[in-house]
Amino acid sequence: MKQLLFSTLILLAIVFPAFAETPPDSIPNYNYLALGTSINLAAAKDQLNTSLSYTGITFGSVFEFYRAKSNRLFYLGNIMSSGNLHPYKRPNGYSNTVQLISENFQMRQQWLVYNNSEKNFLVYFGPEVNFKLGMRINNAEIGNSGITYEAALSLGAAVNVDKYFSIDPIFRGGTPSNWKIGCSLSHPLLSTVFTPPYIGLPENLLQENALFFDVKSNYSTLLTRYVNLQANLSLTYFFNNRNGIEFSYLYDYTATYPDVNPAKTLNRMVFLKLLYNF
C-alpha cells in the first residue's frame, strides 16, 4: 500500500504541473471567502444495524475560500450538516429516527488546463485532499449498535468548469457582466477509511475513558472500496463591488465497502452562499 501511495503521489506531482501555462490576460484573478447555508435531501443505508433505507431533510453550513491567481485555482472548503432521517416508506407504520451528521473538509489545488477566452470558458484540473466524516445515530431498539460512522481521508482528483457570462470585474480587461455558471466533479483515488468493526463496538469499549472510534478498524483502497462522488453545479451573481451571491447544488454520494457491513449515504444539497471579495 505504501508503494501504491508513493506511486500515486509521484504521478500527481509529474502530471499536474504540466498543465501550467503562461496565463493570458483573461484568466480570473481573485480571492473570495464564501459563507452559506444549505438544505439537504439526504438518504442513508447502513447494513451494520439496519436493512432499511432512511430518508429525510437535513440542514448545513458551508465555509469556503477560493484563490485564483495566474493559471492556478486554490480551494479550501468545509461543509457540515445534520438532521433526522426516517424509514423510507415506513414498513408496517414503523416510526424511528436516524440522526445523520456529516462533516467534509476539502482542499484543492487546480491548474488551468483549458481556456477559451472568446467564450469565457475555463477548465481547471488538479488534486484534492478530502476528509469526510459521516455519523449516523439510530434510535431503534438495537442495543449498542446505534452509532455507526465512516471517516475517510482521501487523495483524489477534481475538475472544475467555469463559464463566465462576462469578464469584468472578475476578469482583467474584459467586457462587463456579472454572472458565472460553474460545475465541478471530484472523486477519491486513494483513501484510508475508518469504519466500525464487525459488531459496531470497539475492542476497547470496556476500558475506562474508552474511545468510541476503533482506530484499528480501517482499510486503505484505490477506487474500488470507497466511493465519494461529488458533483457541484453553481450559479453566481457578482455585484459591482466584486462581492457575490451564489446558488448551488451539490450531489454527494458516499459508499464504503469494508469486509462486512457496507454503508451508503446520499446528500443532495442546495446552497445559498454569500461571497466576499478581498
Partner 1 sequence: MKRYKILITLFVLGSAFASCSKLVIEDPITEKKVVFEYFWKSVDEKYSFFELKDIDWDGVHDRFAPTISETMSDEAFFDTLSVMIDLLHDGHSGVTSTFNDHKYVGFFTRGPENFDARLLMDNYAHGWGAVKGALNHISLADGQVAYIYYGDFSSTITDADIEYLIEKYKDTKGIIIDVRNNFGGAVNNIFTLASHFANNKTLVMKSILKNGTGHNDFTGETETYLQPSVKNYAGKVCVLTNRKVFSAASVFTLVMRELPNVTVVGDTTGGGLGLPIGTEIPNGWQMHCSGSQLLSTGGECFEMGIPPDVQVDMKKSDMEKGIDTIIETAMQLILKEE
Task: Single out the segment in contact with partner 1 by CB under 8 A; choices: 23-31, 85-93, 153-161, 172-180.
Answer: 85-93
Query: Contact between 224 and partner 1 (CB under 8 A)?
Result: no
Distance CA 132, CA 191 (A): 11
Task: Single out the segment in contact with partner 1 by CB under 8 A; choices: 26-34, 84-92, 102-110, 124-132.
Answer: 84-92
Task: Report helix, strand or coil for 10.
Answer: helix
Task: Write each residue from 177 to 216 as x if it is in contact with partner 1 (CB under 8 A), else as -, in one continuous string.
Answer: --------------------xxxxx-xxxxxx--------
Return the number of the residue (142 or 223) whose C-beta is nearest partner 1: 142
Return the number of the residue (9 or 205) whose C-beta is nearest partner 1: 205
**Using CB under 8 A, which residues numbered 144 to 163 contact partner 1?**
144-145
Residue with cell 500500500: 1
Task: Report helix, strand or coil for 153.
Answer: strand
Residue 32's region, left for phi above 0, alpha for psi from -120 to 50, else beta, is: beta
Query: Contact between 50 and partner 1 (CB under 8 A)?
Result: yes
Distance CA 63, CA 86 (A): 28
Task: Report helix, strand or coil for 184.
Answer: strand
Return the number of the residue (112 or 266) whose C-beta is nearest partner 1: 266
Query: Contact between 134 and partner 1 (CB under 8 A)?
Result: no
Residue of 83, 87, 127, 188 that binds partner 1 (CB under 8 A): 87
Query: Contact between 8 and partner 1 (CB under 8 A)?
Result: no
Return the number of the residue (93 or 173) whose C-beta is nearest partner 1: 93
Please provide the DSSP assignment of 226-275 as one string. EEEEEEEEEEEEE-TTS-EEEEEEEEEEEEE--SS--EEEEEEEEEEEEE
Residues ≥6 apart with Cβ < 8 Å to 19: 71, 111, 112, 113, 125, 126
Residue of 76, 229, 235, 270 that binds partner 1 (CB under 8 A): 229
Q: How many CB atoms lie within 10 A of CB 183?
A: 15
Residues that bind partner 1 (CB under 8 A): 43-45, 48-53, 55, 87-96, 138, 140-145, 197-201, 203-208, 229, 231, 251, 253, 255, 260, 264-266
